[in-house]
Amino acid sequence: CQYAGRVVLVVNTASYCGFTGQYAGLEALHRRYQARGLVVLGFPSNDFGRQEPGSNQAIADFCENTFGVRFPMFSKTVVVGQGAHPLYQQLALATGERPGWNFHKYLIARDGQTVRSFPSAMAPDHPTIVREIEKRLSPK
């Protein structure tokens, strides 16, 4: 409920992944568009390659100290399989796509219904992602 009416970028993260450097791009997006209504939400997950083995505190320290992450980070979350968090189940249903690896991104529009999915290899500052964010933030 606290993110209702906002544009939300949901990302499953991992500290020891080839895509871990994307934290910097995610933080840059968060800072650039936060005042216009974007919020980036990070969900650390150990689902792929056991690349997030640490405690929630260790993850938080790593994100803040290494990448200056200030966007909301949640506790470690299961994002695929039968035990997937309900949010990830709903996102997979809405898009027909489940995360295949760490740093899969879902962009949720202000209406809470319109969802786009972006693969792990697509950097947060990729023109397609930025264009979709700006489109969702634009006044109607």
As annotated, the active-site residues are 17
C-beta of residue 107 within 8 angstroms of C-beta of residue 116: yes
- Contacts for 120-125: CB closer than 8 Å, 24+ residues apart: 120/19, 121/19, 123/22, 123/25, 124/9, 124/22, 124/25, 124/26, 124/28, 124/29, 125/25, 125/28, 125/29
Q: Is 90 left (phi over 0), alpha (psi -120 to 50) or beta?
A: alpha
Looking at the chain, which runs of residues are DSSP E strands? 7-13, 38-44, 105-108, 115-118
* SS3 label, residue 37: coil
